[in-house]
Chains A and B, each alone.
Chain A
Amino acid sequence: MPANAFNGFTEYGVGIGLRVPHYRHILAKKPVVDWFEIISENFMVDGGRPLEVLDSILEQYRVVQHGVAIYFGSADKFNREHLRRLKRLVKYTNTPWLSDHLCWGSVDGRYTHDLLPMPYTFAVARHTAEKIRAARDYLEVPICVENVSSYAEYHASEMTEWEFLSEVVELADCGILLDVNNIYVSSQNHNFDPYDYLNNVPHHRVGQIHIAGHSKFEKYILDTHDHPVLDPVWKMYAHAIKLAGHTATLLEWDDRIPSFDEVHNEALKANKFRDKQLAATTA
């Protein structure tokens, strides 16, 4: 839904990810952008240039925090220092909601720096939901969890990924950051229909949507974020906003990053789908 408890009752439009190669352009030209998504971990530092850039961005723009290392799905307890730094940043940016991935990435204090898939079981869903609740209570901000793209499945899984996602967000009573590109990538890698996924998650919990490009290899698709959004993903996006409403949408472009304008124009294509859909519903 456009504004809901999971995105702090905001009505954000199309945003883009704040990335280092664009800093100079943004700070000098101050382009009109509805909102920026920042990677929390890049700014959970104690001082220096990153925080100076963040200050300048916060003066001009609305910012939403997106994390890559909270690891709700790790069996380990939270790293308290990580949460403490995250909370400090949440207070600093005043982010209306915060997102991170439904995945794991560390064990016994060792970090893979990856977003690794979960085994889809009820016990794991309960454990993950407990961690999300604990994080939300501590951070005092709504949380949306994002579905990751994956290249492997476990024998231990006893349900589909979308069933697992639904189970987790219902138990945690949290939001979903629906990444339609990740659904597409995983559907190709694991032979499922991406529309089954889209149709069967609790749409009222979608607080934000991600779109991105990916790379096709001979036997699998990799979520590379280094291309424009591909047609099947745009089609899925159109379907997603039909189901979930005109939710805050963000284009991810993380590698081989072109000019700011190119990234922004690609992101703004999302508006076309929204307008089309608006026309269809009012016709």
Chain B
Amino acid sequence: MKRSKPTNFGTNSSPQLPRKINSRAQLRDLQRAMANALFRPLNPQWGMQKRWIDGSSMEAVASEFIKPNDRLSSFERLEIYNRQYWFRTLDCLYDDYPGLRAVVGERRFMKLATAYLSRYPSNSHTLRDLGNRLEQFLTEEPQWSAPREELALDMVRFEWAQVVAFDGPAKAPVTPDDILDTPAAKLRLGLQPYLSLLELNCAVDDFLIAVKKRESDVLRGEASNAMEAAPKAAVRRKRVRLPKREKVYLAVHRHDNMLYYKRLDPEAFAILSSLGRGSTVEDACVEAVTASERTTIDWSAQLKDWFDAWSSLGWFCRRS
């Protein structure tokens, strides 16, 4: 196959960089070159790949813009940054997504995370947002979590909801006085931006609690150093049983700046979701109760309990 003539580093071809940098455009070319090199995944030995995307020698590519010194070649100097980039970002995902890691297993998690970052490099100034497109990625490329695609997707939505609940924005909650004079047929309530409502197909909440407990047990074992290596490895080997398929409705939120998740009845979930979409309180309740298959419930008492609980948690705010 005939290779197209290299143009610049913004493409997959090897770079032709100016030796002088006299303009912002030239600075951008250099920065693109370096960033593209850093964003390339490491080889299985955690080193920089020996070949560039177009098959040319990476040593030659690096020496285009990086000076060697008496101890390190251009390749080796660039490799320090390449490794730092991947160690930093993979570490971050490793720490922030223990649930997804437990679902797919440690080794596959690293492959998944590498593929994810290769497709979606960070688009935010903060590592907090590093996983902000994981759900999208797993939807687009389910092969990375096969055969547990559904569970992985549920888990990633759940773990991202926790990031949002931890430090997402809060609005002033509405008080009973604020809404005293508005009839339910006209009342529309906003939901706190830090609150996520999740309809899940697996009980990932219980599963994640078990995973975190196992991880802290392993850590405690390491810290106390009470046992030799073998038992520690045994603790590691013991996997938490995967959750079975069941419908779970979950609210992920914070209260007094602590993170919580709360299971919801399907009707409660339906009401909150409708409110979130802008329905009036009356419409949301009528719709949910009408659709419900449960017939033995005193709905007016139940609805009052729910609204009291949600108000006291501060979930309602004015609609923006």
Residues of A within 8 A of B (CB): 41, 44-52, 69, 74-76, 79, 82, 104, 106-114, 116, 119, 121, 123-124, 127, 151-158, 189-191, 219-220, 222
Contacts and interface: CB of A to CB of B under 8 A. Distances in A.
A119 B27 contact: yes
B148 interface: no
A48 B65 contact: no
A188 to B, nearest CB: 10
A112 B71 contact: no
A48 B194 contact: yes
A112 B21 contact: no
B31 A190 contact: no
Interface stretch (B119-127, B205-213, B242-250): B119-127
A275 to B, nearest CB: 38
Given A110-B121, A111-B124, A121-B22, A220 B80 contact: yes
Contact of B24 (A127, A155, A189, A191): A127
25 contacts: A41-B125, A45-B128, A48-B165, A48-B257, A75-B25, A75-B27, A76-B28, A106-B35, A108-B35, A112-B35, A113-B85, A113-B127, A114-B84, A114-B88, A116-B81, A121-B22, A124-B27, A127-B24, A151-B77, A151-B81, A152-B78, A153-B69, A154-B30, A154-B67, A191-B70
B167 interface: yes
Contacts of A119: 21, 27, 30
Given A41-B125, A123-B22, A153-B67, A47 B170 contact: yes
Interface in B187-245: 193-194
B180 interface: no
A109 B129 CA distance: 14
A127 B27 contact: yes
Contacts of B22: 121, 123
B169 A47 contact: yes
Contacts of B168: 46-48
B64 to A, nearest CB: 8
A110 B28 contact: no
B38 A220 contact: no
B125 to A, nearest CB: 4
Interface in B132-186: 165-170
Given A114-B84, A151-B80, A220-B80, A156 B122 contact: no
B167 A220 contact: no
B66 A152 contact: yes
Given A113-B85, A220-B71, A156 B77 contact: no
A119 B72 CA distance: 19
A50 to B, nearest CB: 6
Given A46-B167, A119-B30, A157-B67, 15 more contacts: A41-B126, A47-B168, A69-B126, A106-B35, A107-B28, A108-B32, A110-B123, A113-B85, A114-B85, A123-B22, A151-B81, A153-B77, A155-B65, A155-B66, A220-B80
B13 interface: no
A69 to B, nearest CB: 4
A196 B23 CA distance: 29
A74 B31 contact: yes
A156 B258 CA distance: 51
A157 B65 CA distance: 10
B311 interface: no
B101 interface: no
A154 B257 CA distance: 47
Given A151-B80, A154-B67, A111 B88 contact: no
Contact of B121 (A44, A111, A123, A158): A111
A263 B166 CA distance: 28
Interface centre among A108, A157, A191 (most CB of B within 10 A): A108
B66 A154 contact: yes
Interface string B1-30: 000000000000000011111111111101
Given A48-B194, A121-B20, A123-B21, A112 B125 contact: no
Contacts of B65: 154-156
Contacts of B254: 48
A265 B19 CA distance: 47
Contacts of B125: 41, 69, 79, 82, 106, 111
B246 to A, nearest CB: 30
B39 A152 contact: no
Contacts of A189: 69
What 10 A-B pairs come out closest when comparing CB atoms?
A46-B169, A75-B28, A48-B167, A45-B167, A69-B125, A152-B77, A111-B122, A107-B31, A219-B71, A75-B27
